Structure 1
Amino acid sequence: MNKIEIMEALKGNLVVSCQALPGEPLHSSFIMGRLAYAAYLGGAKGIRANSVEDIKEIKRNVNLPLIGIIKKVYGDCPVFITPTMKEIDALVAEGVEIIALDATNRVRPDGETIQEAFPKIREKYPHQLFMADCSTFSEAETAEALGFDFLGTTLSGYTDYTKERQLPDVSLMEEIVNKLHTPLIAEGGISTPEELEMVMNSGAFCAVVGSAITRPLEITKRFMVAVKK
Structure 2
Amino acid sequence: MHGPVFMAAMAQAAEQGGALALRANGPADIAAIRAVSALPIIGILKRWDDRFPVYITPDFAAAALIAAAGADIIALDATDRPRDGEPLGVLIARIRSELGKPVFADCATFEDGVRAARLGADYIATTLSGYTDETAGLKATGPDIALIAALAGTISTPIVAEGRFERPEQLETAFAAGAHAVVVGTAITNPREITRRFVTHARA
Provide TM-score, normalisation by structure 2: 0.93
Q: How far apart, CA to CA, are the structure 2 residues paired with 1:171 and 1:31? A: 34
**Hey, what does 1:23 align to over in structure 2?**
none
Letter in 1 for 2:182: A
Question: In structure 1, what residue type is equivalent to 2:119?
Answer: L
For the residue of structure 1 that corresponds to 2:80, the secondary structure is: coil
Partner of residue 128, structure 1: 101
1:24-65 deviations in Å (ceiling 9; x for gaps)? xx0121011001000111111110000110011111221100
- The aligned amino acid for 2:128 is L
Matched, 1:28 2:26: no
Alignment partners' CA distance in 2, 1:187 and 1:47: 13
Q: How does 1:140-179 map to 2 (within 5 A)?
A: 140-165=113-138, 166-179=141-154
Deviation at 1:123, TM superposition (A): 4.5
Give secondary structure in 2 for the equivalent of 1:185. Answer: strand
Identity of matched residues, %: 41
Q: CA deviation at 1:92?
A: 2.1
Which residue of structure 1 aligns with residue 92 of structure 2?
118
Which amino acid in the other structure matches residue 92 of structure 2? F
Cα 1:119–1:64 change in 2 (3 A) is closer
Please name the residue that 1:226 is paired with.
201
User: Is contact 2:26-2:45 (8 Å) kept?
Assistant: yes
Which residue does the alignment assign to 1:69? 44
Partner of 1:179, secondary structure, is: coil
2:175 equivalent in structure 1: 200
Corresponding residue for residue 166 of structure 2 = 191
Structure 1 residue ranges without an equivalent (≥5): 1-25
SS at match of 1:213: helix
Q: Is the 8 A contact 2:108 2:130 kept in 1?
A: yes
Residue 76 of structure 1: CA displacement? 3.7
* CA-atom RMSD in angstroms: 1.4
Where do 5+ consecutive residues of structure 2 fail to align?
none
Of the three residues 60, 73, 78, the one matched with 2:53 is 78
Does the 8 Å CA contact 1:100/1:131 hold for their aligned counterparts? yes
> What amino acid is the match of 2:33?
I
The normalised TM-score by structure 1 is: 0.84
Q: Deviations over 1:89-123 (max 9, x none)?
A: 1122223111000000001123x542454344445
**Contact 2:44–2:75 (Cα < 8 Å) also in 1:** yes
The 8 Å contact of residues 95 and 102 in structure 2, kept in 1 or not, is answered as no
Query: Which of 74, 80, 97 is the equivalent residue of 2:72?
Result: 97
Residue 217 of structure 1: CA displacement?
0.8
Amino acid at match of 1:159: T
